[in-house]
Amino acid sequence: MEKKDIYCVIMAGGIGSRFWPMSRTKYPKQFLDVLGVGKSLLQQTYDRLLKLCPPENILVVTNEEYGPLVAEQLPDLPAYNILNEPARRNTAPCIAYASFKVKKRNSNAVVIVAPSDHLILKEDDFVSSAMRAAEFATSQNALVTLGIQPSRPDTGYGYIQFEPSKSEVKKVKTFTEKPDHEIAVKFIESGDFLWNSGIFIWSVKSAMFAFQKHLNDMYRAFESGEEAYDTDDENDFINRVYPECKNISVDYGIMEKASNVFVIPSDWGWSDLGTWGSLYTHLEQDENKNAVLGKNVMLLNSKNNIINNNSNRKLIVVQGLEDYIVVDKSNVLLICKKEDEQEIKQIVNNVKLEKGDDYV
């Protein structure tokens, strides 16, 4: 398969509220160097996808508020490859918009859709899995996703059940979104469930067929502007039709309904870095299992904590704390039990209602 026929779509419009208060509405986590490696998660994703296709074949879909941030962080990305969403409508409209853009440029394209804020440690293994999926997708008219071999009964991930077979590519049986702990344990024990990585691979022709069949109103909306893509009329067209699109994920809208969905079990050191707890597992820890980001932190008789201090002037002293998240960022200090990290998203909503936008 030639690289010129591979296109990558990066979804970079999320707010990352479970990473609050480090991730804020005006500067969400995909633009942050959460691992302290000198590059944001978006920049790491872009560099990884350059191993699959040239820069002119990478499109970034983001909220219009973040367009300038994308351009600043990815200076080599052509400006016309930054797709600005005028409204937040989940992943299905985002992918449909990018797919119609790609179709106009190359009707034989294979599209790899990836979130902007995930961690992948074994990048060469990821590239191999993605290429295998691309080859299968084009030869079988299939919608392919990459599933992750689960290492624990995590309740923060979606799960994919596959039909057992000797083939490397498995037929998908069911999707389950964030089960409770008891069900997650059963999934792990069964051996035929994978974590849903949110990475999708398909030919643009298969994508068009899937949208036309399962999200026909959305398909017709984006199809009506085929002449506008990559012209001066595109922005006005998108501003008109995008806010009218159904707010739905591609998982619910297409993947759970289609009959030609397959998964490749993978293991390339993946994490969606969706929560402070998932970040904690990838950070260096001291002898008491504390992970510290930033300077000016003193820990006394404390263990299993993640501490993030974004101030060079303020000293954080933690005494007698165990299994907590402590984050000091700008005008917010968060102190939360690690076991309650899934509540942070609701906390953000409550803060916005009671204290206003300045804190979110």
Q: How confident is the model at residue 154 (pLDDT cuts 50, 70, 90)?
A: confident
Mapped onto helix, strand or coil, the DSSP state of residue 147 is strand
Q: Are 176 and 192 in contact (CB under 8 A)?
A: no
Average pLDDT, the chain: 95
**Structure-token pair, residue 122:** 């074994």
Burial (0-12, 13-18, 19+ Cβ within 10 Å), 259: exposed
**Alpha carbon distances (Å) from 126 to 147, 197, 264:** 11, 12, 11
- The counts of H helices and E strands in the chain are 11, 17
pLDDT at res. 312: 81
Q: How far is CA 113 from the centre of its chain?
A: 10
pLDDT at res. 202: 98
282-291, Cβ contacts within 8 angstroms, sequence gap of 24 or more: 282/35, 282/119, 283/35
Is pTM beyond 0.85 here?
A: yes
pLDDT at res. 274: 85
247, 245, 263, 265: which is closest to 255 by C-alpha?
263
CA distance 288 to 273: 22
pLDDT at 124 over 80: yes
pLDDT at res. 155: 85
Using only the alpha carbons of the chain, give its radius of gyration.
21
Mapped onto helix, strand or coil, the DSSP state of residue 89 is coil
- Which tens digits make up the pLDDT trace of 32-59? 999 889 999 999 999 999 999 999 999 9
pLDDT at 2 over 90: no
Q: Are 215 and 181 in contact (CB under 8 A)?
A: no
**What is the pLDDT averaged over residues 85-96?**
97
pLDDT at 71 over 90: yes
Give the amino acid at 149: Q
- Which tens digits make up the pLDDT trace of 262-319? 999 999 999 988 889 989 988 999 999 999 998 899 999 999 999 999 888 899 999 9
> Would strands 170-176 and 261-266 be described as parallel, antiparallel, or unpaired?
antiparallel
Least confident of 16-20, 129-133, 318-322: 16-20
- The contacts of residue 158 (CB under 8 Å, 6+ apart) are 175, 176, 177, 178, 195, 196, 198, 251
Name 24's bridge partners.
Answer: 27
pLDDT at res. 1: 74
**What is the pLDDT averaged over residues 64-76?**
97
**Structure-token pair, residue 295:** 């300077």
**Phi/psi of residue 346, nearest 5 degrees:** -70, -35
Looking up tokens 């962080």 gives 73
Name 203's bridge partners.
Answer: 110
pLDDT at res. 161: 97
**What is the pLDDT averaged over residues 323-336?**
96
**Read out DSSP for 152-170?**
S--SSS-EEEE---SSSSE
90, 1, 4, 23: which is closest to 273 by C-alpha?
23
pLDDT at res. 78: 95
pLDDT at res. 246: 96
Mapped onto helix, strand or coil, the DSSP state of residue 141 is coil
**Structure-token pair, residue 126:** 């990821």
217, 250, 247, 264: which is closest to 98 by C-alpha?
250
Domains and CATH numbers, the chain: 3-271 (3.90.550.10), 276-359 (no CATH)
- Which tens digits make up the pLDDT trace of 177-212? 889 999 999 999 999 999 999 999 999 999 999 999
Q: How confident is the model at residue 3 (pLDDT cuts 50, 70, 90)?
A: confident
pLDDT at res. 285: 96
pLDDT at 146 over 80: yes
**Alpha carbon distances (Å) from 47 to 18, 52, 58, 77, 120:** 25, 10, 10, 11, 12
Mapped onto helix, strand or coil, the DSSP state of residue 281 is coil
**Phi/psi of residue 184, nearest 5 degrees:** -60, -40
CA distance 6 to 102: 10
pLDDT at res. 355: 96
